[in-house]
A and B are shown apart, each in its own frame.
Chain A
Amino acid sequence: MDLSAINPVLLIASLMVAATPLLLAAIGELVVEKSGVLNLGVEGMMIVGAIAGFAFSVETGSPLLGVIGAAICGALLSLLFAFLTQFALANQVASGLALTLFGLGLSALMGQSYVGVRPPAMPRLDLPVLSDLPVVGPILFSHDPILYFGIALTAVVWAVLKFSRIGLILRAVGENHDAAHALGYHVVRVRILAIMFGGACAGLGGAYISLIRVPQWTEGMTAGIGWIALALVVFASWKPWRVLLGAYLFGGINVLQLNLQAAGVAIPVEYLAMSPYLITILVLVIMSADKSGAPASLGRIFHASQ
């Protein structure tokens, strides 16, 4: 065992990368759920984002265009869910699961000619001086732009939800759609926009995996990250900064357990591999005292004539 081999600075830097796809998808889902809609299709939208981003950036040669394409495709796919739940008034749990199934299949069809292709690299945002700082440099100032975008997005979502009129409407719709409707807000329109935002974020998260974190395309490559993102939202009791914290915590535990393995810590490996999930449950129990965040209309079907 050699714990000194673990470098905490690098550990933090790499957990930030590991957490980013989770963060992006979870922040999107948070907005969706704040509007009172539960979309379990995150995994499906992520994987479609992963292949769409990959294909776009390979075809255009620009990772940035790829990322934008991924967000658009994620949003388009989420429209399917929006149609089902907002117009056809279908059950949200079932529609979300169907979306995941559909997305996994669709992505595999789309990606058939992209196996074994190497995508153009996303340039790292190297800030002179800052990136070279000891400790802070590698942690804060030498990542890819999307990672910063994720953090910025968290801040924006937090501010919009808390201070703006849009945030107020969104929360009103999520808390009590009948009252919001009575006040003259377009419940369905608000929710569709929220769902599309969620889809775009999930698509972005997927593209982060296929373009930056891995980077390659293989079928089913999101390997359950969408589900974890979903869990994170509840875990964070619908608070943006806690989503960030949760994403780092989850990413951190995973990176830490691999670090402990590499350092030869004598804990049975299978228990280390379980640990991220067990600790998530534990933290969840501790945090479940706080029920302030759950939108009251979450998952309920809205129809104006009711």
Chain B
Amino acid sequence: MKLTKLLTSAAVALGLATTAMAEDKTKVGFVFVGPVGDGGWTYEHNKGRLAVEEKYGDKVETVFVESVPEGPDAERVMTQMALDGADLIFTTSFGYMDPTINVAKKFPKVKFEHATGYKQADNVSVYSARFYEGRAVQGHIAGSMTKSNVIGYIGSYPIPEVIRGINSAYIHAKKVNPDVQFKIVWAYTWFDPAKEADAAKVLIEQGADVILQHTDSTAPQAAAQAAGNVITFGQASDMSEYGPLPRVSSIIDDWAPYYIARVGAVMDGTWTSTSTWDGIGAGMVGIGEISDAVPADIKEQALALKASLASGEYHAFTGPVNKQDGSAWLADGETADDGTLAGMNFYVEGIEGDVPN
């Protein structure tokens, strides 16, 4: 301690103040796949970054680069951050997986955190959120509230993450409403607000009075509002500007607690490579306020469901559940293992249509 102080003052004396200051700070880099102004995925990650800054103040310096294409550009940006002295780098898109591993090999002393992937290394942790827990609550409210028994679902691409959400929502909607039917539309884009608006309108025209979305824009909310008598849920961010109707609740990605914890771990030297898949319990998945448009009893049930998911007492995929073709998947009382969930590429029994490909 004394020695460090001595060295620091020596450095100041030598006019190396800036360098020494920089070494005191923990430098954290963020690589974003979209613009921080996308109002959805990247927006929420950036909020996590700001929370880190607020929490640690002068002790931390954060840097970010937005709209980084997956592939060599991502690799270059990560390398650049590492060269410029980052201690910890968060890479926040699935497509950054292999670049992250490549760069991590070159910089064994720098810590990396890759979102939504599955490749770990000594200095690479992976983290993701159990959004499907939030989908269960959504499904419950949706199944209880629908009058037409038709629930519209806007998917981006048919990847396990999205399919898991559809299944979870369907299972819990079906539980409270055996007649419920899901209409699923794939937008085949991550981001195209106009197309999302069209998709929502189409679903409403075909009788859906609940719209669930796995795309990030508020376009479906506005479409639902224009149509009237349709309810929606905020996705990624709270979208409370559309409450109390059509938005009755929301699933919020809340990365702040995790980011604060990981940066803290780097600061006190306790960081180790981990694989985190947190849900409502750890606060990574938030359920936005359930508005007054939802009848009190349904709201109460939804909150109870949320509480049981949070405490771990209940798993969103608890048997008996069959696959779409009728074959058994989970026996009575059995819960799904994380491996199957992570790579889920099938619908559960009762959902119509095929998973594309």
Task: Pick from B43, B199, B205: contact of A11, CB below 8 A.
Answer: B205
Chain B residues, Cβ within 8 Å of A221: 193-194, 217
CB of A220 within 8 A of CB of B35, answer yes
Determine the residue in chain B with the shortest Cβ distance to A117: B241
14 contacts between A and B (CB under 8 A): A18-B194, A21-B194, A116-B237, A118-B242, A214-B193, A214-B197, A216-B222, A218-B40, A219-B34, A221-B217, A223-B189, A264-B183, A269-B356, A270-B356
Interface centre among A209, A218, A221, A254 (most CB of B within 10 A): A218
Interface flags for B197-234 (1: CB within 8 Å of A; 0: not) read: 11101110111000000000111001000000000000
Cβ < 8 Å to A, chain B residues 33-69 = 34-35, 37-40, 43
B194 touches A216 (CB 8 A): no
Residues on A lying within 8 angstroms of B by beta carbon are 5-7, 10-11, 14, 17-18, 21, 108, 111-112, 115-118, 209, 213-216, 218-225, 254-255, 258-259, 261-264, 266, 268-270, 273
A223 touches B217 (CB 8 A): no
In the A-B complex, the 6 residue pairs with the closest CB atoms: A10-B205, A273-B188, A219-B35, A223-B192, A258-B202, A269-B356
Q: How far apart are the CA atoms of A87 and B206 in the complex, in Å?
A: 54
- Nearest CB on A from B141, distance (A): 21
* A214 near B241: Cβ-Cβ < 8 Å: no
B contact residues around A14 at 8 Å (CB): 198, 201-202, 205
Using known A-B contacts A7-B205, A216-B218, determine if residue A262 contacts B193 with beta carbons closer than 8 Å: no
**Bound-state Cα–Cα, A213 to B219, Å:** 8
> Contacts A116-B39, A223-B191, A262-B203 known; A213 to B197 CB distance under 8 Å?
yes
Question: Measured between C-beta atoms, what is the minimum distance from B218 to chain A in Å?
Answer: 5
Taking each of A6, A255, A258, A263, which has the highest tally of chain B beta carbons within 10 Å of its own beta carbon? A258
B332 to chain A, nearest CB (A): 30
In angstroms, Cα B226 to Cα A215, docked, is 11
- CB proximity of B240 to chain A, nearest CB, Å: 10
Residues of chain B within 8 A of A209, CB atoms compared: 193-194
**Pairwise interchain contact A218-B37, C-beta atoms closer than 8 A:** yes
A223→B219 contact, CB < 8 A: no
Chain A nearest Cβ from B37, distance in angstroms? 4
- The answer to whether B37 touches A108 (Cβ under 8 A) is yes
Extra contacts besides A115-B43, A216-B219, A219-B34 (12): CB < 8 Å: A10-B205, A14-B205, A108-B37, A116-B39, A118-B218, A216-B39, A218-B38, A221-B193, A223-B195, A259-B205, A264-B352, A270-B357
**B37 engages A115 (CB within 8 Å):** yes
B354 within 8 A of A: yes
Residues of A within 8 A of B15 (CB): none
1/0 per residue, CB under 8 A from A, across B167-204: the answer is 00000000000000001111011011111111101110
Given A259-B206, A261-B185, residue A213 in contact with residue B217 (CB < 8 A): no
Q: Which residue of A lies closest to B221 (CB)?
A: A216
Asked if A254 and B35 sit within 8 Å, CB to CB, the answer is no
Q: B179 to chain A: closest CB distance in Å?
A: 15
In the complex, are the beta carbons of B37 and A223 less than 8 A apart?
no
Query: How many angstroms from the CA of A209 to the CA of B45 in the assembled complex?
Result: 26
Which residue numbers of B lie inside 8 Å of A, CB to CB? 34-35, 37-40, 43, 152, 158, 183-186, 188-189, 191-199, 201-203, 205-207, 217-219, 222, 237, 241-242, 352-354, 356-357
- Complex Cα distance, B207 from A266, in Å, reads 20
B194 touches A225 (CB 8 A): yes
Given the complex of chains A and B, what is the CA–CA distance between A59 and B184 in angstroms?
A: 38
Residues of A within 8 A of B203 (CB): 262
Docked complex Cα distance between A118 and B221 (Å): 11
Q: Are A262 and B241 in contact (CB under 8 A)?
A: no
Q: A209-B194, A221-B193, A258-B185 are in contact. Are A266 and B354 (CB under 8 A)?
A: yes
Contact A111 B37 (CB under 8 A): yes
Known contacts: A218-B217, A262-B183, A264-B183. The answer to whether A116 contacts B152 by CB under 8 A is: no
- In Å, the complex CA distance between A306 and B237 comes to 59
Bound CA–CA A91/B28 (angstroms): 44
Q: Is A269 touching B188 in the complex (CB atoms < 8 A)?
A: yes
Q: From residue A271, how far is it (CB to closest CB) to chain B in Å?
A: 10
Q: Are B241 and A116 in contact, CB atoms less than 8 angstroms apart?
A: yes
Question: Which of chain A's residues have a CB closer than 8 A to the CB of B352?
Answer: 264
C-alpha spacing A247/B219, complex, angstroms: 21
Question: Within 8 Å CB of B353, what residues of A?
Answer: 264, 266
Assembly CA distance A115 to B241 (angstroms): 12
Which B residues touch A214, using CB under 8 A?
A: 193-194, 196-197, 217-219, 222
State how many angstroms separate the Cβ of B214 from the closest Cβ of chain A: 14
Q: How far is the CB of B52 from chain A (nearest CB, A)?
A: 20
In the complex with contacts A254-B195, A270-B356, A216-B217 CB distance below 8 A: yes
Residues of A within 8 A of B188 (CB): 269-270, 273
B201 CB contacts on chain A under 8 angstroms? 14, 17, 255
Docked complex Cα distance between A188 and B199 (Å): 44
Chain A residues with CB under 8 A of B152: 262
CB-contact partner of A258 in B39, B198, B219, B237, under 8 A: B198
Of the listed residues B188, B201, B219, B357, the one surrounded by the most CB atoms of chain A closer than 10 A to its CB is B201
* Cα–Cα, bound, A285→B192 (Å): 28
Question: Is B194's CB under 8 angstroms from A218's CB?
Answer: no
> B38 contacts A219, CB within 8 Å?
yes
Whose C-beta in chain B lies nearest to the C-beta of A11?
B205
Closest B residue by C-beta to A208: B194
Shortest beta-carbon distance, A227 to chain B, in Å? 13
Contacts of A17 in B (CB 8 A): 201
- In the complex, what residue of chain B is closest to A124 when comparing beta carbons? B226
